[in-house]
Amino acid sequence: MTRLSVNINKIATLRNTREGNTPNVKLAAINCEEFGADGITVHPRPDERHIRYSDVRDLKPIITTEFNIEGYPSPSFLELVLQVKPDQVTLVPDSPEAITSNAGWDTIKHKEFLSEVVSALKRAGIRTSIFIGADGKIAEGAAIAGADRVELYTEPYATAFPYNPEIAIEPFVKVAKIVADLGLGLNAGHDLNLQNLKFFNQSIPNLREVSIGHALISDALYLGLELTILKYKECLR
């Protein structure tokens, strides 16, 4: 069964609209795990507009499943993750002003930089995943950089899915086979939801983990967090 990592950034976004600690980010993480999540994902950004660096430090001792920290490998980000030592770090190429992730790495252009970052993380015993588009050459570049896994950027799939699911999934199936041949683990994330997740999971071989935040937290406003997580888990069976 593909594992579900819940991205709790949106919980922190809501909290940060007012002073105080409501909703409580730590309690949200605990509840997600109790309701069946296989992991917790956070993506701290330099302006701390949602998850703060202090949240990351506070979450580490209480997470009992898997802790995945996403982010651009700036000096401050690397200092944080090397201190916290999560189970996995997912490297994304976001600029500081990006609202959300909107592209994968060019692993060929940034080979030396990514190789240095991955090497530092692996020396600390941290599994490293590189966020990429559905491109076989880019997947090969991630392997050359030393990554343990890649995370497929799935917004193009989600955008095309309502019109033609078979066409939407085709490039992701192709790259998933290349990733397997390279000996890399395969994760996926971005705009996956209750409408498109089941088809994606059934179509992609060797998919280990999906990271879902915006859609899942939005659904929880209507369905409740426990039922929402159960529904997402059903899509992954």
**pLDDT tens-digit map of 125-182:** 999 999 999 999 999 999 999 999 999 999 999 999 999 999 999 999 999 999 999 9
pLDDT of residue 199: 98
Is residue 63 within 8 A of residue 33, CB to CB? The reply is yes
User: How many Å apart are CA 2 and CA 118, to the nearest integer?
Assistant: 24
Query: In the structure, what pLDDT confidence band is assigned to residue 196 with cuts at 50, 70 and 90?
Result: very high
Catalytic status, residue 116: no
Quick one: which of 86, 137, 148, 141 has its CA closest to 111? Answer: 141
Q: What 3-state DSSP class applies to 110? A: coil
> Which of the 8 DSSP states describes residue 43?
-
Strands (E) located in 72-192: 88-91, 127-132, 149-153, 185-189
Bigger pLDDT: 46 vs 60: 60
Annotated catalytic residue within 33, 151, 190, 209: 190
pLDDT-derived band of residue 103, with 50, 70 and 90 as boundaries? confident
Q: 3-235, which class in CATH?
A: alpha beta
Tokens of 146: 């030393």
| Choice among 33, 50, 66, 70 that is catalytic | 70
Spatial distance between the Cα atoms of 176 and 185, rounded to a whole number of angstroms: 9
C-alpha 152/C-alpha 46 separation (Å) is 23
Rounded CA separation 2/202 (Å)? 10
* Residue 100: predicted pLDDT: 57
pLDDT, average across residues 203-217: 97
Q: Are strands 185-189 and 149-153 parallel, antiparallel or unpaired?
A: parallel
**Could you confirm whether 43 is annotated as catalytic?**
yes
- Is 110 noted as a catalytic residue in this protein? no
Pairing of strands 207-212, 39-42: unpaired
Q: Residue 94: which pLDDT band, with cuts at 50, 70 and 90?
A: confident
39, 68 in Cβ contact below 8 A?
A: yes
Alpha-carbon span 47 to 32, nearest angstrom: 25
Residue 207, strand partner residues: 186
Exactly one of 43, 50, 151, 209 is catalytic; name it: 43
